[in-house]
């Protein structure tokens, strides 16, 4: 049975690639937008974007395609591709509803800590009526520095009224794990497009196959 250093008193979720199966669309859309512009791109560019706020992504684009690159203009094209894909196919990741149901039963508070904007969180989760199932949503504009800095997770813990030490953080990205670990949380990676490296595994309390596996962390709590 997977176990954690201590029983979680709250759970903080990433969104893209953890709750929602969106990372595959982010990857496809940035690649298709780059090709439309005739820009060279490989997997390393997308991997560097994962878990980053727009400021980090913009800086990555300029390192990749030159200081004079119009990152904001490219973002418009990229998001057009992305939203087109989302309208056709947006799904929950395996185990989302089951884990939230269990947290309801246990009475444990939960939050979202994401690099996405509030309007994106509301739009995406509204399709599945999930916003009401979270006690707090921490998104762009709610913190000073984005992931991999600890700020998003520290703000989430503060809003939940639970010490970071007692929070379980669920993440699919390397930068997200770095952020959660730096905040002092029990960080668990549920890999999506990126497998954990040795560095990331060392920061994790556990690496889970999916959110259904994460439910097993609470079996002792439920039995008690």
User: Same domain, yes or no, for 96 and 62?
Assistant: no
User: Same domain, yes or no, for 114 and 63?
Assistant: no
Report the alpha-carbon distance of residue 5 to residue 168 in Å, rounded.
10
Side-by-side strand order, sheet with 136-138: 136-138, 110-113, 10-13, 167-171, 186-189, 206-207
Burial 174-200 (b: 16+ CB within 10 A, else e): bbbbbbbbbbbbbbbbbbbebebeeeb
Decide if 5 is inside a domain: no
93 or 44, higher pLDDT: 93
User: Same domain, yes or no, for 35 and 60?
Assistant: yes
Report the alpha-carbon distance of residue 188 to residue 220 in Å, rounded.
18
User: Same domain, yes or no, for 84 and 113?
Assistant: no
- The two tokens of residue 9 are 């008193």
* Of the residues 53, 88, 123, the one at which a domain ends: 88
Q: DSSP of 59-71, one letter per residue?
A: HHHHHHH-TT--H
**Is 16 considered catalytic here?**
yes
Decide if 4 is inside a domain: no
- 201: domain CATH number? 3.40.50.1000
Q: What is the pLDDT of residues 41-73, one digit of tens each?
A: 988 888 888 877 888 889 999 999 999 999 999
**Is 72 considered catalytic here?**
no
User: Same domain, yes or no, for 15 and 29?
Assistant: no
Angle at which helix 71-88 crosses helix 23-36, to 10 degrees, equals: 130
User: Same domain, yes or no, for 71 and 95?
Assistant: no
User: Same domain, yes or no, for 68 and 103?
Assistant: no
User: Same domain, yes or no, for 170 and 155?
Assistant: yes
pLDDT of residue 86: 85
Decide if 3 is inside a domain: no
* Of the residues 88, 105, 136, the one at which a domain ends: 88
pLDDT at 6 > cutoff 90: yes
Question: Judging by beta carbons within 10 Å of its beta carbon (0-12, 13-18, 19+), is residue 152 exposed, middle or buried?
Answer: buried
pLDDT of residue 220: 61
pLDDT of residue 1: 59
Question: Judging by beta carbons within 10 Å of its beta carbon (0-12, 13-18, 19+), is residue 157 exposed, middle or buried?
Answer: buried
User: Same domain, yes or no, for 164 and 72?
Assistant: no
* Of the residues 88, 110, 142, the one at which a domain ends: 88
Q: Which of 16, 151, 172, 192 is catalytic?
A: 16
Decide if 100 is inside a domain: yes
- The two tokens of residue 195 are 């497998």
User: Same domain, yes or no, for 51 and 126?
Assistant: no
pLDDT of residue 50: 80
Report the alpha-carbon distance of residue 156 to residue 159 in Å, rounded.
5
Report the alpha-carbon distance of residue 153 to residue 132 in Å, rounded.
20
Q: What is the reported pTM?
A: 0.86
Q: What is the pLDDT of residues 120-158, one digit of tens each?
A: 999 999 999 999 999 999 999 999 999 999 999 999 999
- Domain range for 189: 10-21+91-223
Decide if 136 is inside a domain: yes
User: Same domain, yes or no, for 52 and 162?
Assistant: no
Tally of structural domains, the chain: 2
User: Same domain, yes or no, for 67 and 167?
Assistant: no
């Amino acid at each position: 049975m997977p176990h954690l250093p201590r029983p979680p008193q709250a759970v903080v979720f990433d969104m893209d690639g953890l709750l929602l199966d969106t990372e595959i669309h982010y990857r496809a859309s940035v690649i298709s937008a780059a090709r439309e512009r005739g820009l060279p791109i490989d997997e390393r560019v997308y991997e560097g974007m994962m878990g980053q706020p727009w400021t980090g992504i913009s800086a990555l684009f300029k390192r990749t395609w030159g200081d004079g690159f119009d990152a904001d203009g490219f973002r418009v094209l990229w998001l057009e591709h992305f939203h087109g894909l989302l309208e056709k196919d947006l799904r929950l990741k395996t185990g989302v509803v089951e884990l939230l149901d269990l947290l309801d039963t246990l009475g444990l508070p939960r939050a979202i800590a994401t690099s996405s904007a509030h309007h994106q969180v509301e739009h995406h989760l509204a399709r599945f009526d999930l916003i009401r199932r979270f006690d707090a949503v921490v998104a762009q504009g709610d913190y000073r520095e984005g992931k991999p800095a600890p700020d998003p997770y520290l703000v989430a813990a503060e809003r939940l009224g639970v010490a970071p030490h007692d929070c379980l953080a669920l993440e699919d990205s390397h930068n997200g794990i770095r952020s959660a670990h730096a905040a002092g949380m029990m960080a668990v990676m549920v890999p999506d497009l990126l497998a954990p490296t040795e560095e990331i595994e060392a920061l994790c309390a556990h690496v889970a196959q999916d959110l259904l596996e994460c439910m097993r962390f609470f079996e002792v709590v439920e039995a008690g």
